[in-house]
Structure formats: structure tokens, C-alpha cells
Amino acid sequence: MFFYFYDTFINEKRFESDLIKTENRLIDLGINGRIEKLTILRNGKELIEEAIKNGAHTIVAVGDDNTLLKVINIVADHSVAIGFIPLRANSKLARILGIKDCLDACDILSKRLVKKINLGKANQNYFFASISIPQVEGIKVECDEKYKVSLKQKDNGLAVYNLGNFLDVANEDQWKVFSNKNYLNVYVLPPAPSGLSKYFKTNNPQDAISVFPAKKIKISAEGKTLSVILDQQTTLKTPVQVTIKPKKINLIVGRHRKI
């Protein structure tokens, strides 16, 4: 059974036409199923877990990137497939998964090409693409319980990538997409350009980049708490223990996927 999880915003008038076309296409393909709409009074976790209990084998997030990320976090501990129907034109995750639009998403669901995807886990939360830490002053990073990384500049940025930086970076030309490797990549990033350095290139930004592969990362801060942002969606406070969970979810993807 297919279970379609509709996000709250798709009740808006501007999505009505696309939603009708999508529902008709799903019926044509014979993969229509139970639909539940998320509202402020209904808990998404309960809805999805109840559907799985009732025999749903595929949970389809209908909405935008945040809808899919929500579904991934709920479904990660169950062995069902996850699909995605994007209703916003600017969906980054649709491009990563090789989905052109909502109708293409229906065809992809029907073809059911399933890929096992790694997830990262930060404390009790899963993340799909990345962790970003905008303020690093006083940060302590320990990798694989073997070595410590110290940052000499307090205005550096720090990121941990599972599948890439595509949720953090607007310009698609600057996306880094990592294949499904069994480790995370810790990136120390150069300071964001400010003042006149925005306009005058003084040095090569690549000079300041550091990269470390690691399976287990402990992020803490001395005498303070720092914000750790998962997939640009959830914010945790340090200390945070980060690990990789290989082949954690079954994601339905298109042929032109980037992962």
C-alpha cells in the first residue's frame, strides 16, 4: 500500500492544479493509495507510524524539501521505501533525486528504482545531507576517538557532509555531492567574505579548506554552547555526537539522480 503524506501548505490555492494533475496521474498508473494531510492538530510521526503499522510499504512525501526531510527522519527506523512528489518548483532534493516535476515524480514512483542511502545521525536526529556550524569560536572536534582538530581562526566555518552541501548552498554550480560512502566528510571552511574582500579576491579560498573523512565525530565547545544545524532544518546545541548509518533508508530515485 502507498501512503501519501501531504504537507500543510499544499492546501494553498496555487498548488491545487498541480495536485489534481498528480492525483489523476497516480490513479492512471495504479499507484494511488491512502492520503493523510498534515495539519497543526495532527502529528506527522503518529500518522506515518500508524500507516506503517497498517501495512504501508511506501511512504510518499508530497510537498517540498522540508516535507521529505521530515518523512526521512520518521521513517528511518522502519524498513519501508520513501518516495517524493515535489510541489514547489525550486526543490533542491528533487534535483538531487533526479525528479523533474510532480508528474515525473509519479512515473518515478511507478518504476520504483530503489536505492539504499546512508544517513548521518546527530544525537537522536537523522540528517540527510549535512550539518553546518556557523559559529566555531571555542569549538572542539574529535574524530574517530583518535585525533582532535583545532581551528586557528575563529571566523572559519565547519560543516559535516553525508551526501553533500546542496542544502546549504544556493548556487548549484557550487554543490558538492558525495556518493554513498561509508564515512562522513568534515569540512573546515574559509571565513565568509565581508567588507571589501567581497569585491577584491585577496587569496585563494581553497587555501583555507580542510577535509577529513571520519565515521564518528564529537563536537563540543569549551565553556559555552554552539548551534549545530542539521539539513538547514533542525538546530541542536553542543555537545553533539555524530555518526554515519550506512544504507539506512530505501529511497525511490530517478534515473538522472546525482547520488
Partner 1 sequence: MAAMFSKNSTPTVSNDAETIIGKSVKIEGTFNGEGNIIVEGEVNGNLKTDKDLDVKEGSKITADIEAANMKIAGEINGNVKCHGNLDISGQGKIIGDIETKLISIATGAVLKGHCATNAHEAKPKESPKHD
Selected from 152, 198, 201, 255, the binder of partner 1 by CB under 8 A is 152
DSSP state of 134: S
Min. distance of Cβ 207 from partner 1 in angstroms?
Answer: 6
Please identify, among the stretches 78-86, 102-110, 141-149, 241-249, the one whose residues bind partner 1 according to the rule CB under 8 A.
141-149
246 counts as binding partner 1 under rule CB under 8 A: no
ω into residue 86 within 30 of 0, thus cis?
no
Among 35, 52, 80, 149, binds partner 1 (CB under 8 A): 149
Least distance to partner 1 from the beta carbon of 145, Å?
9
Residue 213 found at the interface with partner 1 (CB under 8 A): yes
Q: Which of 39, 210, 225, 227 binds partner 1 (CB under 8 A)?
A: 210
CB-nearer residue toward partner 1: 102 or 186 = 186
Residue 32 has a CB neighbour count (10 Å cut-off) of: 15
Positive or negative: CA dihedral 66, 227, 120, 45: negative
Q: Which helix (H) or strand (E) holds 125?
A: strand 125-127
Of 40, 194, 198, 207, the one binding partner 1 by CB under 8 A: 207
Three-state secondary-structure class, residue 180: coil
Residues pairing with 168 in the sheet: none
Residue 212 in contact with partner 1, rule: CB under 8 A: yes
Residue nearer to partner 1 on the CB measure, 80 or 149: 149
Q: Which of 22, 91, 156, 250 binds partner 1 (CB under 8 A)?
A: 156
Q: Are strands 125-127 and 114-122 parallel, antiparallel or unpaired?
A: antiparallel
Cβ nearer to partner 1, comparing 9 with 212:
212
CA count, 13 A, side-chain hemisphere, 93: 28
Selection from 257, 228, 249 nearest residue 75 by Cα? 249
Q: Distance (Å, rounded) from C-alpha 59 to C-alpha 51?
A: 8
Displacement of CA 8 from its chain's centroid (Å)? 19
**Angle, CA 231 vertex, CA 60 and CA 124 arms, to 5°:** 85
Fill in the per-residue mask, 175 to 194: x = in contact with partner 1 (CB under 8 A), - = not in contact. Answer: -------------x-x----
| Total chain residues near partner 1 (CB under 8 A) | 18
- Give the shortest CB-16-to-partner 1 separation in angstroms: 48
Binding footprint of partner 1 on the chain (CB under 8 A):
146-153, 156, 188, 190, 207-213
